Amino acid sequence: MIIVLPVVQLFLFGYAINSDPKHLPTGLLSGEHSKYERTLVAALQNTGYYDIKPLASEAEAERGLAEGKLLFVVNIPPNFDRSVNRGESPVVLMDADATDPSAIGGAAAALAALTSSLDRNLPQGIRATPANPPFQFELHARYNPEQLTVLNLVPGLICIVLMMSTMFITTLSITRETERGTMENLLAMPVRPIEVMLAKVVPYIVIGYLQVILIMGIAMAVFGLPMRGSIALLTFALGLFIASNLALGITFSTVARNQMQAIQMAQFTLLPSMLLSGFMFPFRGMPLWAQWAGEVFPTTHALRIVRGVLLKGNGFAEIMPELWPIILFTVVVGLIANWCYRVTLD
């Protein structure tokens, strides 16, 4: 804790954290492929903020925004070239996933400078005045129109509180039995390791749900947190998330020899799980290796599920890509805990 933990913090903050994310996934909807459209797309990509790929339909765009696979959708109106040449100042619609305002802030700010730079590249006869630009960007902040930070932090806080409370409580469960001398009684009973672990885990699932009810009630009453999706679906997904943290805590408890070792293991897991999940900093701003590491932790997927259900109204089909990593993590970690469970005190 004296040496390794500060070094881990140094590398995470130095290399993995970036508050101005670039290369954001962006979809393109266009009815025609014209010269001004190609110029516009090239200019967007040259800013470094947008990685643009064509989309086949508006349904694909909606699905990409709902699942978090796209952060922007550029919708170029029909007859774009003709409207620019006539000086009609057509509007290019930019749909943005505003569930995390900090992730799209830099990219949205670059649009104003982009309009003026493109104006200088247009033919002399159709250049416009500042009051009448050749075209306009209209940013449509989806799911969080006012781009309130509280609507991003409060759903994430639900996952962080659940992770910290459930994991730390179960981390001490088996090691506490050993230090108090009551482990002999458990070993003498005709129960299998999986039964002991389930008995340790199930009560804390109930406690986790009580925490969810408390946080959700306060968030809706005080901060105006919306509930656009299914409460039953959110409850089911959070139950899986609670189970994953309890399984991880039980694994630490079976591996560690005493409570201090178990707490140290939990602390080393807590830091990267918070920093690499997208709770404190934009997930898309991290380098690729940090994103791969963040995908391992259930907190990353739980954050997306909670924000998706609460702010976007996502259903089961939209959250399924985030559910199966949590289930897989729970099963793997549970098997490790069962394998590491000691049937003797030696």
Query: In order along the chain (346 residues), what is the average pLDDT of each group of 10 residues?
Result: 76 76 90 79 88 90 90 88 80 89 85 66 51 77 86 86 83 73 68 74 84 86 86 91 87 79 82 85 85 91 93 91 93 83 51
Number of neighbours of residue 328 by Cβ within 10 angstroms? 12
User: What pLDDT, on a 0 to 100 scale, did the predictor assign at position 194?
Assistant: 72
Look up residue 162 and give its amino acid.
Answer: L
CA distance 134 to 132: 7
**Residues in Cβ contact with 173 at an 8 Å cutoff, skipping those fewer than 6 apart:** 200, 249, 250, 253
Which residue pairs from 288-295 have beta carbons closer than 8 angstroms and sit at least 24 positions apart in sequence?
290/12, 290/15, 290/16, 295/325
User: What pLDDT, on a 0 to 100 scale, did the predictor assign at position 71?
Assistant: 92
Backbone angles phi, psi at 343, to 5 degrees: -90, 0
Cβ 24 vs Cβ 72: under 8 Å: yes
Which strand (E) or helix (H) includes residue 210? Answer: helix 193-222
Which residue pairs from 121-125 have beta carbons closer than 8 angstroms and sit at least 24 positions apart in sequence?
121/39, 122/84
Q: What is the pTM of this model?
A: 0.82
User: What pLDDT, on a 0 to 100 scale, did the predictor assign at position 181?
Assistant: 66
User: What pLDDT, on a 0 to 100 scale, did the predictor assign at position 344?
Assistant: 43
Domains and CATH numbers, the chain: 20-142 (3.40.1710.10), 150-340 (no CATH)
Cβ 16 vs Cβ 287: under 8 Å: yes
User: What pLDDT, on a 0 to 100 scale, did the predictor assign at position 287?
Assistant: 85
CA distance 249 to 259: 12
Number of neighbours of residue 138 by Cβ within 10 angstroms? 11
**Residues in Cβ contact with 9 at an 8 Å cutoff, skipping those fewer than 6 apart:** 271
